[in-house]
Amino acid sequence: MTGKLILVRHGETEGNVAKILDTRLPGLPLTERGVAQAKTFGSNLAAPPLRLFSSEALRARQTGSYIEAATGVPLEVLEDLHEVQLGDLEGLNTREAHETFQDIYHSWHFGDLDTQVPGGESGRDVLNRYIPALERLRDEYLTDSDAGDIILVSHGAAMRLVSRELTGVPRLFAANNHLDNTETIELLPFSDGVWECTRWGRYPAPFGDNIEPTGDDPMG
């Protein structure tokens, strides 16, 4: 059995609190609560990860830095693992803007990957930049039977979309279940390139479709 890839949503940000659609790099910083969440996540790990990575976004780098402080594992920042880019919706906090994105995002989970956020990315755009980066991590660090876990601090909407595509988690489950700050999706790689999702936020595998929607908080 190899190690897992543990995707961690960053800690709470000023954008989350203000319900701002904040996706453009570098983005808004963590709140005091977000800092506390990151510190708690790092201190609660049963063992240090083999490697620690984050996206380029400020909130992910800050979260990763507190995990680094708790574990002693140096943080490495990677390209292509940032949040879905929202284009014309960037910086908005209106109900209309949130509903526009949620409608598009849910359509991605049900196979309409070429629908594009106005002025931003399509679901296929996100997958085409994000999945190759995960495959590089798998090939470099997760091929040995005694490999440890890899932690990657990233972003909720991108993590959910990519994980559903890689593992075949039920579409309704993935579309309806957002991740709280510093919650994780855990992916187990196999030698044939297949991934299995072993945990999604508060839920361990197996996952079912009969899950009531949770209220999506702002992007990030």
**Active site annotation includes 165:** no
Q: Which one from 12, 68, 82, 83 is the annotated catalytic residue? A: 83
Q: b or e along 148-186 (b: 16 or more beta carbons within 10 Å of the residue's beta carbon)?
A: bbbbbbbbbbbbbbbbbbbbebbebbbbbbbbebbbbbb
**In the beta sheet, which residues pair with residue 151?**
6, 52
Q: Which one from 10, 82, 98, 109 is the annotated catalytic residue? A: 10
Q: Which whole-number Å values give the CA distances from 98 to 22, 66, 171, 174, in the listed order?
A: 11, 30, 20, 18
**Active site annotation includes 10:** yes
Active site residues: 10, 83
